[in-house]
């Protein structure tokens, strides 16, 4: 008994001793600082860098797709491939790779891994994440996953299955070779990374809030990351199970998805979309969080209807798990099943509507500074509403007969989820880059970037509504000549978008190299959250003395 | 590099020129026209109802977007830092929050009722006069006619080099599938390999063909003519090159065509997947 007491007392003292040493100038430098990092800010920075690198790859893929589609015919001499079949497979790999990279290696790392790691501890007054070493593993698993995916793309023709990887096309019979297997392993690693990250965020947010920062006073970005972490925790294992079944189908003679041997290809679609639909909310809910912080700051008002905003996200997360089969309206589901999924899917419009109107009400009566982050937030609202109303149309299984698998769907999800998320990422970047780097971004160039990007993406995606209504299918490298006009317009938009992305990389370089220094709170009276109370750039260790939130007014 | 330059510079010039001079190509109904911004004209009662329902949806969609944009414009004009230097502190308004939860719910109910009606109407036909079986293959369609002796044939894309004048690129096949107009036709769909999707925009038909399953839908084409569609589920390298061409003819012409087709396609074997479908298909009037 006595012995145990001694050990228990000694352990915390020792731990404290180590923490003390590391905290004052003894942290690793050089490559050790990054490879072995357990610091939430360094890991956040690495996630953002990974996202930027992946964005170049995924963006280049979309640019190649738009070049191919700029005019009718196969442009395979664009890619210096002599064999037309090889090129057509390569085109499908581009479509697949663009989806995977943008979802798993651009948006998720930037918003959850990047901004989440950087700002959740800062916003809740915690010194770091709950499990700093697990945090390190989360990042490096994702880096390995990206490498595997890129290897897969150049292995034996690459995976030309679309990001949905539907069997039988993804079976060994139709995709022999290691490409799809490598892709599956890549997703397994990305999934493990996400689940570890999710566990880390949930533990941190539940247990490490500053005294007085009760759940119902947490900033909405923290709420968003909390909801997202739960979605990841529940959705990723289903994907992992489905991927494992596909892997054993391909390599070990099982027949989960092989109809000829008693399996069912549609089972894969059910499992994939049971993960896949929450996945799109995993992408957009952190965006909601960022937009809420930005709008509140620049309107110089607390968020309108705070509790409604928080629980709208919880509700969206919950409903996200019971609407997956609206991706399967043309798979031959029973009509009553489809009727249920129509009704459930339409419901999503209510909490998302609450969010839109609460943002507008937050701005109403405000004294709004239209700085670059706020411009991106307004752009986000526009895109999200545009994509939202087409989503209401697509929710109807009867209507979906006309829209399913056409460019209308491509336009819809890029508006509501993909480009909207990217707008939130840009808003977050311009909002927090001062805190992360201590430097001011070039103001005029940032505005130019916003307008180029905003116009560019609308020119890309708005005409795709027309193409879809006229009946142009997705995922095709060539189209009947009637679709040439709007496809050309869409491609011109992608040139502008690509140019604006290059400008963004120049802006990053300018900011880091010659941006002026910024104060701890660069945004003034509207910026009331805890990250603005620490220096800019945020020191290596922050909140070593927990901030006391008991005296402050409730956030609601 | 030159190729990219050409795409960026030359194509718009050519596009503008061809628009000014007119393409000279006569575009028939049943497929998209250049610069089309809307649906293809409806050729079946299902598509007519889809278009009708979409009119309702479009009014709602446009109203919502315009409403939100109007509020945003007003906010930008009225509540920027110059016009309104002192922000209000309002963060709650229960009535407002109840309204913006309740009104969308009400709008959704307005949408859901016609939506479900359409869904059930489009699903199946009760009194089919004949059955057409469609089997997806990498990368062509096989059609068979179980009610007309069970003959079958493949429908394969015509390569660009072999197109005759007036035949649309990527939509022309060697053997179009011929169907009688003004007839309730049951479609049974399956696949011999990967998942394909048989879709004809003018018909309001789009359904996956899945190996081991038979999916059912129906058409009643209200007018003779040529109708085109494309495979609508990614099915491999030639996904873009397995078009659908439906030739709708009068019932009398259809009977003549059936006689001829029985002879022409006498030695084409019905695919195994379609035979399965045949065994499962409910008996219909022959």
Judged by CB atoms closer than 8 Å, whether chains meet at A471 and B229 is answered as: yes
Q: Is A169–B195 a contact, with Cβ atoms under 8 angstroms apart?
A: yes
Q: Which residues of A touch B204 (CB under 8 A)?
A: 401-402
Contact residues on chain B for A161, CB-CB shorter than 8 A:
234
* Sign of torsion over alpha carbons A495, A497, A498, A502: positive
C-alpha distance from residue B81 to each of A247, A356, A431 (Å): 58, 21, 18
Binary contact (B87, A169; C-beta < 8 A): no
B204 vs A: CB within 8 A: yes
CB contact under 8 A, B3 and A389: no
Angle (CA) B266-B270-B273 rounded to 5° is 175
Q: To 10 degrees, what angle do helices B11-21 and A484-514 make?
A: 150
Residue keyed to tokens 């493990």: A192
Q: One of A128, A181, A249, A400 is an active-site residue; which one?
A: A128
CB B164 within 8 A of CB B276: no
B237 touches chain A (CB under 8 A): yes
Of B71, B168, B201, the CB nearest to A471: B201
ipTM of the prediction? 0.90
> Is A393 in contact with A469 (CB distance < 8 Å)?
no
B 53-82 residues inside an 8 A Cβ radius of A = 53-54, 57, 60-61, 64-65, 68-69, 71-72, 75-76, 79-81
With a CB-CB cutoff of 8 Å, which residues 114-133 of chain B face chain A? 115-116, 118-124
Q: Does A402 contact B50 at a Cβ distance shorter than 8 Å?
A: yes
Q: Which residues, numbered 242 to 261 in chain B, qualify as contacts with chain A under a Cβ-Cβ cut-off of 8 Å? A: none
Active site residue A292: yes
B204, B234, B242, B272: best mutation site toward chain A, by most A Cβ within 10 Å?
B234
Q: Which chain A residues are within 8 Å of B122, Cβ to Cβ?
A: 398, 401
Query: B234 and A474 in contact by Cβ < 8 A?
Result: yes
Which pair of structure tokens corresponds to residue A122? 């800062």
| A291 sits in which H/E element | helix A265-299
- Please report how many Cα atoms fall inside a 13 Å half-sphere around the Cα of residue A494, on the Cβ side: 23
Active site residue A98: yes
What distance in Å separates residue B246's CA from the closest CA in chain A?
15
Enclosing H/E stretch for B131 = strand B130-137
Query: Smallest Cβ distance to A398: which of B35, B122, B208?
Result: B122
What is the reported pLDDT for A549? 85
Do B104 and A350 count as a contact with CB atoms less than 8 A apart?
A: yes
Q: Are B276 and B257 in contact (CB under 8 A)?
A: no
Q: Let me know if A314 is exposed, middle or buried by CB neighbors in 10 A (0-12, 13-18, 19+).
A: middle
Is B88 close to A474, i.e. CB distance below 8 A? no
User: Cβ of A346 and B212 within 8 Å?
Assistant: no
**A26 catalytic per annotation:** no
- Counted across chains A and B, CB pairs separated by less than 8 A come out at 311
A465 is known as an active-site residue: no
Q: Could you tell me the two tokens for A406?
A: 């056409």
**Contact between B7 and A402 using a beta-carbon 8 Å cutoff:** no
To the query of whether residue A414 is one of the catalytic residues in this protein, the response is no
Q: Please tell me if residue B104 touches chain A, with a CB cutoff of 8 Å.
A: yes
The verdict on B10 touching A (C-beta cutoff 8 Å) is no
Is residue B272 less than 8 Å (CB to CB) from chain A?
no
Residue B125: the pLDDT is: 83
Is B46 in Cβ contact with A363 (below 8 Å)? no
Residues sharing a CB contact under 8 Å with residue B257, sequence separation 6 or more, in sequence order: B178, B249
**Res B205: pLDDT:** 97
Residue A75 pLDDT = 85
Taking the C-alpha atoms of residue B257 and residue A367, their distance in angstroms, rounded to an integer, is 74
Determine which of A473, A476, A483, A493 to mutate to test the interface with B (most B C-beta atoms within 10 Å): A473
Number of H helices, E strands in chain A: 19, 0
Catalytic residue among A163, A273, A407, A415: A163
Given A352, A358, A362, A406, the catalytic residue? A352
Q: Please confirm, yes or no, whether A170 is among the known catalytic residues.
A: no
The rounded average pLDDT for each run of 10 residues, N- to C-terminus, in chain A (556 residues) is 40 42 63 94 98 97 95 80 84 96 97 97 96 97 97 93 96 94 97 98 97 95 98 97 97 95 96 97 98 97 96 97 97 96 97 97 96 98 97 97 97 97 98 97 97 98 97 96 96 97 98 94 94 94 89 55
A398 to B205: CB separation less than 8 angstroms, yes or no? no
CA distance A188 to A493: 35
Distance from the A496 Cα atom to the nearest Cα atom in chain B, whole angstroms: 11
Instruction: Give catalytic status of residue A543 as yes or no.
Output: no
Q: Is B16 on the interface with A (CB under 8 A)?
A: no
Q: Report residues of chain B scoring pLDDT below 70.
A: 1-28, 270-286
Instruction: List all residues 6 or more positions away from A368 whose beta carbon is below 8 Å from its beta carbon.
Output: A298, A299, A300, A374, B75, B76, B79, B80, B81, B84
């Amino acid at each position: 008994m006595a012995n145990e007491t001694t050990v228990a007392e000694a352990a915390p003292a020792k731990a404290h001793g180590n923490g003390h040493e590391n905290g004052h100038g003894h942290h690793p430098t050089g490559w050790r600082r990054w490879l072995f990092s357990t610091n939430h800010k360094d890991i956040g920075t690495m996630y953002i860098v990974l996202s930027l690198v992946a964005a170049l790859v995924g963006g280049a893929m979309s640019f190649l797709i738009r070049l191919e589609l700029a005019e009718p015919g196969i442009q395979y001499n664009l890619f210096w491939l002599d064999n037309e079949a090889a090129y057509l497979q390569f085109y499908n790999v581009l479509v697949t790779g663009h989806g995977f990279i943008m979802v798993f290696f651009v948006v998720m790392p930037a918003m959850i891994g990047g901004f989440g790691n950087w700002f959740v501890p800062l916003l809740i007054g915690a010194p770091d994440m709950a499990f700093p070493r697990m945090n390190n593993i989360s990042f490096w698993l994702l880096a390995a996953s990206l490498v595997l995916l890129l290897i897969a793309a150049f292995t034996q023709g690459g995976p030309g299955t679309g990001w949905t990887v539907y069997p039988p096309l993804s079976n060994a019979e139709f995709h022999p070779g290691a490409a799809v297997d490598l892709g599956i392993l890549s997703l397994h690693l990305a999934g493990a990374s996400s689940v570890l990250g999710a566990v880390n965020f949930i533990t941190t947010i539940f247990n490490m809030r500053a005294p007085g920062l009760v759940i119902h006073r947490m900033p909405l970005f923290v709420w968003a990351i909390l909801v997202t972490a739960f979605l990841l925790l529940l959705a990723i294992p289903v994907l992992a199970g489905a991927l494992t079944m596909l892997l054993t189908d391909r390599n070990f003679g099982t027949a989960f998805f092989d109809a000829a041997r008693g399996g069912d290809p549609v089972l894969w679609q059910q499992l994939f979309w049971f993960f896949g639909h929450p996945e799109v909310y995993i992408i957009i809910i952190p965006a909601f969080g960022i937009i809420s912080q930005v709008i509140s700051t620049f309107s110089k008002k607390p968020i309108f209807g705070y509790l409604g905003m928080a629980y709208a996200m919880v509700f969206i997360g919950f409903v996200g798990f019971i609407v997956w089969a609206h991706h399967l309206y043309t798979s031959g589901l029973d009509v009553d099943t489809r009727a249920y999924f129509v009704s459930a899917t339409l419901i999503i419009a209510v909490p998302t509507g609450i969010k839109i109107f609460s943002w507008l009400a937050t701005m109403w009566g405000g004294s709004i500074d239209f700085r670059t982050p706020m411009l991106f937030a307004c752009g986000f609202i526009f895109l999200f509403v545009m994509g939202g109303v087409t989503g209401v149309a697509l929710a109807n299984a009867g209507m979906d007969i006309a829209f399913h698998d056409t460019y209308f769907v491509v336009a819809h999800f890029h508006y509501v989820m993909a480009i909207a998320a990217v707008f939130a990422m840009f808003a977050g970047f311009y909002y927090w880059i001062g805190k992360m780097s201590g430097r001011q971004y070039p103001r005029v160039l940032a505005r130019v970037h916003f307008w180029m990007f905003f116009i560019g993406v609308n020119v890309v995606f708005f005409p795709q509504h027309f193409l879809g209504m006229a009946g142009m299918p997705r995922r095709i490298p060539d189209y009947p000549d009637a679709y040439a006009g709007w496809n050309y317009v869409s491609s011109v938009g992608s040139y502008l978008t690509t140019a604006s992305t290059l400008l963004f990389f120049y802006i990053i370089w300018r900011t880091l190299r010659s941006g002026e220094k910024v104060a701890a709170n660069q945004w003034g009276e509207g910026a009331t959250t805890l990250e603005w109370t620490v220096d800019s750039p945020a020191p290596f260790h922050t909140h070593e003395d927990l901030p006391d939130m008991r005296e402050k007014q409730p956030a609601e | 590099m030159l190729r990219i330059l050409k795409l960026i510079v030359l194509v718009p010039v050519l596009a503008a020129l061809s628009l000014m001079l007119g393409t000279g190509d006569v575009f028939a109904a049943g497929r998209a026209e250049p610069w089309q911004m809307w649906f293809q004209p409806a050729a079946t009662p299902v598509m007519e109802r889809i278009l009708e329902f979409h009119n309702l949806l479009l009014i709602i969609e446009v109203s919502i977007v315009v409403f939100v944009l109007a509020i945003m414009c007003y906010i930008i004009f009225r509540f920027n830092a110059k016009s309104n230097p002192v922000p209000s502190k309002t963060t709650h308004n229960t009535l407002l929050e109840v309204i913006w939860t309740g009104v969308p719910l009400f709008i959704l109910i307005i949408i859901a009722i016609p939506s479900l009606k359409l869904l059930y109407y489009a699903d199946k036909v009760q009194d089919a006069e004949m059955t057409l079986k469609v089997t997806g293959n990498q990368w062509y369609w096989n059609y068979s006619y179980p009610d007309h002796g069970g003959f079958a044939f493949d429908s394969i894309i015509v390569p660009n080099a072999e197109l005759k004048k007036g035949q649309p690129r990527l939509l022309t096949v060697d053997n179009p599938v011929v169907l009688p107009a003004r007839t309730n036709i049951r479609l049974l769909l399956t696949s011999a390999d990967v998942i394909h999707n048989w879709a004809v925009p003018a018909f309001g038909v789009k359904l996956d063909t899945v190996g081991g399953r038979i999916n059912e839908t129906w058409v009643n084409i209200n007018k003779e003519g040529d109708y085109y569609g494309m495979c609508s589920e990614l099915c491999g390298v030639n996904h873009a090159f397995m078009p659908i061409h439906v030739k709708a003819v009068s019932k009398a012409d259809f009977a003549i065509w059936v006689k001829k087709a029985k002879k022409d396609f006498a030695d084409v074997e019905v695919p195994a997947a379609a035979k399965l479908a045949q065994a499962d298909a409910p008996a219909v009037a022959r």
